[in-house]
Every structure is written in C-alpha cells, then in structure tokens.
Amino acid sequence: METGLYRVPRDRPGVSVESDRCPVVLLHGWALHAGLLAPLAEALAAEGHEVTCLDLPGHGGRPYEPPFGALEELAATIAADLPPACTLIGWSLGGMVAARLAADHHPSVRSLALIATTPRFVADTDWDHGLARELVAEFAAELGHDYPGLVRRFLSLQVRGDAQAARLLRQLRTQVFAQGEPDPAALSAGLDILKQADLRAAVGRICVPTLVIAGDHDRLTPAGAGAWLAGHIPGASHAVIEGAGHAPFLSHAGEVLTVLRGFLPPPVAARARA
C-alpha cells in the first residue's frame, strides 16, 4: 500500500472499472489509520464505487508533513489529496475535517457523509454533547508519557456501550498499530484540535448534500451531537444506528452500508444499466 493512501481495487469480477466521476474518499479518526476503514471501503467498491482511504499526516505510516496545529491547517493538507470531485466520508476527527472543507465550500466536496462526528468534542457551558474537559486534560497528560497506553484507553472509550463491544475492542486492538505507531507529535496536534475546534458557527454554510450517521450508544461523540449537526446543516439527512458506539461502520456494518447506499449516487455503470 502506498504510504498514506489506500485505494480499493475495482478490477474484480462483477465490478466495473469505469470512472464514477465522483469517487468516494474516506477519512479516519484520531490516533488510527486508513486501514480500519477498509471493510467499509471494500463493501462500497464491491457495489461499483471508486473508493480511496486517506491517512491523516502522522498516522498509518504517513509522515507528519506538513505539521498542523489547527483544524484549518489539517483540512488544507487533506484538500491537496482530494480528486477534483468526490463524496467525502469522514469518521470522528476525519468528519470534523470533512465538515470544515464543506463549510469552506471546497470545490472537490460534492457531497458529505459524517460518521460519529461532532462540531465540538469538548463539553462547555453551552454544549452538553461533548466529553468533560477534565477527561480530555487527562488524555493530554497521559500522551506525554504513555501514548500507546492512551491509544488503547481511547479504543476502550470508542466501544463503550456498543452492543458488539467485546468483539469490536478485540478487532481494534489487533489493528490499531498494524501500520506502525502514529507520530506522537501528530497525536498531540490532533488532540489540541479536538480540545479547541468548534464548528457550530460554520456548519450552517454547508450547502452540499449531507448525511449524518450516529450510534445511539456512542460515548465519545454522543448521538445528540449528530442530531445537532443534522438540525443545523441545511437539508441534511440523519440516521441513528441502534446499539452502535463510536465505530458503527465496524460493529454494524450492514446497517451503515444500507444507509450509505440510499445516500450515495449510484456508480456510473449502474446508472447506465438502469
């Protein structure tokens, strides 16, 4: 696999290799890598979509270049990797990057799907759908002396409340460092973004078709955050996956694929056959 890039092959029996003209690009969350999105990517590719998974800088073996210190800088780096037109699917921090690009009217983003995404990760006096600031401060302190331990703890929070929690945690722990450990500087920068970023004033500017998917048992980005996004992004669709935590595309893959199937435009080959 090319560093920082996971392309799903479509030259397989029953899958057309004709261009979709609007491929699908997937973005992962903090401390993880594009390989965790492979099952979803391969399911979409099997239906004829052209799919690419991108690693964030400093994750999945991708160098931490250029460094980023704010959500806007991270979004600009990802924007340079996008095709001229795409459906952008972002999970967690990847969803915040995707929402930032859509809110800034980046021309590559023609439609948007946000999975387990929040406009603000940390709770505040006017925001109830976030993690306690004290817990995020603990993350920052732990990052400096045991970041592998912090990543494992973060995985436990991701599955908490999920109906498939035990199986999902085993899967995540097996795969989390499969492509190397993330760069600690990138983890620190990403955690700073999660502490500081606030997209609530921006998402009302999103004007592309948007789907918001939330797990009703998500403890990191609660379902209320997804409901808020769906209510403030003009015309957004909203789906809540029952029994799912923070990674519904892994624990409830069939349900997520069904929702995406109803949202994504059919591939060119499928339209030609219709």
pLDDT at 162 (0 to 100):
73
Pick 143 or 231 by higher pLDDT: 231
Work out the pLDDT band at 12, boundaries 50, 70, 90: very low
Is residue 228 within 8 A of residue 236, CB to CB? The reply is no
**Residue 144 resides in a domain:** yes
Task: Give the span between the Cα atoms of 228 and 245, in whole angstroms.
Answer: 17
**Residue 122 resides in a domain:** yes
**Residue 217 resides in a domain:** yes
* Count of structural domains within the chain: 1
Which amino acid, one-letter code, is at 171?
Q
Could you tell me the residue range of the domain that residue 255 belongs to?
5-266
**Residue 274 resides in a domain:** no
**Residue 273 resides in a domain:** no
Lowest mean pLDDT among 19-28, 41-50, 146-155: 146-155
Task: Give the span between the Cα atoms of 245 and 251, in whole angstroms.
Answer: 8
Pick 138 or 11 by higher pLDDT: 138
**Residue 91 resides in a domain:** yes
pLDDT at 258 (0 to 100):
97
Residue 14 has pLDDT above 50, yes or no: no
Residues 114-149 have pLDDT tens digits of 999 999 999 999 999 999 999 888 888 887 777 777
Residues 182-226 have pLDDT tens digits of 899 999 999 999 999 999 999 999 999 999 999 999 999 999 999
The domain that holds 215 is classified in CATH as: 3.40.50.1820
The residues carrying an active-site annotation are: 92, 218, 246
Task: Give the span between the Cα atoms of 113 and 213, in whole angstroms.
Answer: 7
- The rounded mean pLDDT for the chain is 87
**Residue 271 resides in a domain:** no
- The order of strands in the sheet holding 51-54 is 5-7, 51-54, 24-27, 86-91, 109-115, 210-215, 237-241
The pair of three-digit structure tokens given for residue 8, joined into one six-digit string = 């799903």
Cβ neighbourhood burial of 92 (10 Å; 0-12, 13-18, 19+):
buried
Task: Give the span between the Cα atoms of 131 and 194, in whole angstroms.
Answer: 10
Q: Reduced to 3 states, what is the DSSP secondary structure of residue 23?
A: coil
